[in-house]
Amino acid sequence: MNPLSIICHGIVLLTLLVATQAQAVEILHWDRKPLPVDLPVGSERVIVLDRNVRVGLPREIASVDTLRVQSAAGAIYLKANKPFDTQRVRIQDVETNEVVLFDLTAKESGASDEEIQVVFPDGGSADASDSASADSSSSGKADRQAGEATQAHTPVPVVLTRYAAQSLYAPTRTLEPVQGINRVAMRLPERMPSLLPSLPVTATPMAAWKFNGWVVTAVRLLNRDPSRAFELDPRWLQGDLYSATFMHPTLGQRGSVRDTTTAFIVTRGQPLAQALPLSDLADGGVSASFEEGIRVGGDS
């Protein structure tokens, strides 16, 4: 074998090795026993469940300064910003109400950042993918109907709100574009305290879409009160808003699986940044648009 051939073989072997390492996945089997997960401080780790879930954090790690939790397309993204001892976290399937328990521990060293795939005893992880594929045609049909309904004078806010909810909480592979709807930059602060000033709620912008002069903005709402739950009423929202839809009618006390929900806020002729009370826009830096939010599920 000549030197050039040896080099080529070495490159191929190295490429395969790197690809194998990049695609490494840790498999965890849910058998009703808490699943131990170590998190590397400062690095993100992904847990794939292929399910629409809510995340319930214990009070000890419920701050973004300790643990950042985001979710999209059936995956949970965890980033520990400081080390912490083992804490039990509840992940609840919003469709079946099944609860999966994780024992999370954040470590300065010795924790892997490999992706984790959770396998359920009924084959739920694999079946979920098959089910999503089977439902793809019906989901696509629904999206096409939404586009047709818009042309048939169905209210644009309804179509926009439905599309935004599906974009955030339906599997990406099942979402088909609706002609004329485009993702837009939000230009919003990271927190909007005057949006719901009467409640101890943290409002965080997630993403925005525009269509024919209308804009819908998804805003994550987190209850900061560990002792009280609240009914949600769109009339409590402050600003020059056209309409608002909540994923859930109530917001549970902090630390519960229902302490987070999403509001889809529609504005007409202007983005939410221009419709908010001026105090919000004067409160700090502008956040970048991001897709991931706590995945809460539900129907719009």
> CA–CA separation, 236 vs 258, rounded Å?
19
Selection from 55, 53, 52, 73 nearest residue 64 by Cα: 55
> What value does the mean pLDDT take over residues 6-22?
41
Q: Which CATH number fits domain 24-119: 1.20.990.10, 2.60.40.1080, 2.40.50.180, 2.60.40.680?
A: 2.60.40.1080
The residue extents of the domains of the chain are 24-119, 182-287
pLDDT in tens, 99-152: 899 999 999 988 988 989 888 875 444 333 343 343 444 444 444 544 554 445
Q: Do residues 53 and 62 make contact, with C-beta atoms less than 8 angstroms apart?
A: no
Other CB atoms within 10 A of residue 113 CB: 14
Residue type, 216: V
pLDDT tens string 239-249: 899 999 998 88
pLDDT in tens, 235-291: 889 889 999 999 888 899 999 888 999 999 999 989 998 888 765 544 444 333 333
CA 206 to chain centre: 9
pTM: 0.47
3-state DSSP assignment of residue 196: coil
